[in-house]
């Protein structure tokens, strides 16, 4: 049986910071990638399960994925490639006579 409890945003962040001892959470918008299912998710999407006397556990939000916080890595977008970055025009392009 599953009982849903809604927490305030501050409570959710404090819970992530307390339970996930592998990585620090700065906000609920921080993202992780699950090494089991390869999905990217934010702290807002994580499933929090209360196991009674066994404490609280965090789980990947992907259906059928059984991973917990020990299977997550910090996700950072790849830096923009040089070709994707706007280039400043050369001085000669702005030369007027």
- What pLDDT, on a 0 to 100 scale, did the predictor assign at position 97? 45
Q: What is the DSSP string of 26-95?
A: SSTT-EEEETTT--EEETTT-EEEE-GGG-EEEE-SSTT---BGGGEEE--PPPPPGGGSPPPPPGGGG-
**Is a pLDDT exceeding 80 seen at residue 66?**
yes
Of the candidates 23, 26, 38, the one whose C-alpha atom is nearest the C-alpha of residue 69 is: 23
Lowest mean pLDDT among 26-35, 42-51, 54-63, 82-91: 82-91
Q: Which two tokens stand for residue 4?
A: 């849903």
In the predicted structure, residue 95 carries a pLDDT above the cut 60: no
More confident residue, 2 or 87: 87
Task: Output 66 or 55, whichever has higher pLDDT.
Answer: 66
Q: Taking Cα atoms as reference points, which of 78, 74, 73, 44 lies closest to residue 61?
A: 44
**Secondary structure of residue 22 in the 3-state scheme:** coil
Q: Is the pLDDT of residue 94 over 50?
A: no
- Max mean pLDDT among 6-10, 61-65, 79-83 falls in 61-65
The domain locations on the chain are 28-77
pLDDT at 87: 58
């Amino acid at each position: 049986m599953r009982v849903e409890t809604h927490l305030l945003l501050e409570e959710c962040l404090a819970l992530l910071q307390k339970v996930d001892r592998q990585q620090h959470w700065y906000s609920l918008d921080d993202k992780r990638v699950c090494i089991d299912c390869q999905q990217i998710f934010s702290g807002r999407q994580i499933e929090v399960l209360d196991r009674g006397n066994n404490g609280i556990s965090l789980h990947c939000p992907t259906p059928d994925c059984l991973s917990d916080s020990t299977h997550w890595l910090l996700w950072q977008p790849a830096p923009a490639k040089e070709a994707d970055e706007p280039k400043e025009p050369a001085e000669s392009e702005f030369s007027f006579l």
